[in-house]
Amino acid sequence: MKLRKVSAASAAVLALALTATACGGDDKDSGSSGDGKKITIGIKFDQPGLGQKTPDGYAGFDVDVATYVAKKLGYTEDQIEWKESKSADRETMLQRGDVDFIAATYSITPERQEKVDFAGPYLLAHQDVLIRADDDKIKSPEDLNAAKLCSVTGSTSAQNVKDKLAPKAQLQPYPTYSACLPGLQNGAIDALTTDDSILAGYAAQSQFKGKFKLGGFKLTNENYGIGVKKGSDLKDKINKALEEMVSDKSWDKAVEDNFGPANYKNEPAPKIGDIKS
């Protein structure tokens, strides 16, 4: 008799466990609604002004855009899990489902569109140069012919300038963009080149305010989009959120908050699907 009672109790426990599993599922939601407990978003952790991990949390324009989008999808800030998305890892992270979407200075290109889908664009950036605030010699890309140009390992920006615009530029190798800034400040190099939004983010740091300026050369168009897994229904939902961010002026505030100190002359908010070549 006692054995039968134990068996009945065990059966009841098993039934409850199966019910909970069927109703609860995985903690991680697909990102298509706010019913899940969290949403995982990929950002850069090392780009001031765009995506940076700080002692106080995460900050930057990409972070502000991603947070706004997440809220429109039904998530609160404490339901967001931030994950570092290095440039070389972004497509793989989306394809594996490591993140729900990525906002990480992610330029929309035909090659990338074969692997992932993009919402946006949400920012039109350009390759530019950062020079000292008192520099009066570099006024055009051609003036870089007589300049020492920071070349960052793994980046093609400086090499592109040398190949296409200023063949006599002297490329000076540095490990990171951050490492270029002291050299630019003390005259070891004359210019640093990458996307103007990234340069503005570096220049806006408190220790560099007023020391640098952008050349304003607009050497290329870089259409930043939000990457999602191929075929994801998130694309349309994120596009709608981005349109709302522009219409309610939250986009303008995010630009001013993150790039204002560098006097960044940003382009107007791009229209969804309008990719500048």
Q: Is 8 contained in some domain?
A: no
- Tell whether 139 and 155 lie within a shared domain: yes
Q: For the chain, list residues with pLDDT below 70.
A: 1-36
Q: What angle do CA 199, 93, 110 make, to 5 degrees?
A: 65
pLDDT at 35: 58
CATH number (domain holding residue 155):
3.40.190.10
* Per-residue model confidence as pLDDT tens digits over 17-68: 434 444 443 444 444 444 558 999 999 999 999 999 999 999 999 999 999 9
Residues 141 and 155 in one domain: yes
Q: Tell whether 14 is covered by a domain.
A: no
Domain range for 203: 127-214
Does residue 201 share a domain with residue 165? yes
Residue 26 included in any domain? no
Is residue 23 in a domain? no
Identity of the residue numbered 188: A
- The domain tally of the chain equals 2
Residues 65 and 119 grouped into a single domain: yes
* 199 domain residue, yes or no: yes
Q: Residue 2's pLDDT is what?
A: 41
146 shares its domain with 182: yes
For residues 68 and 136, membership in a common domain is answered with: no
- At residue 34, the pLDDT reads 46
Give the model's pLDDT for residue 262: 73
270 assigned to some structural domain: no
pTM: 0.80
Tell me whether residue 233 is in a domain: yes
Residues 167 and 113 in one domain: no
At 260 the pLDDT is 77
Q: Looking at the domain assignment, is residue 97 inside a domain?
A: yes
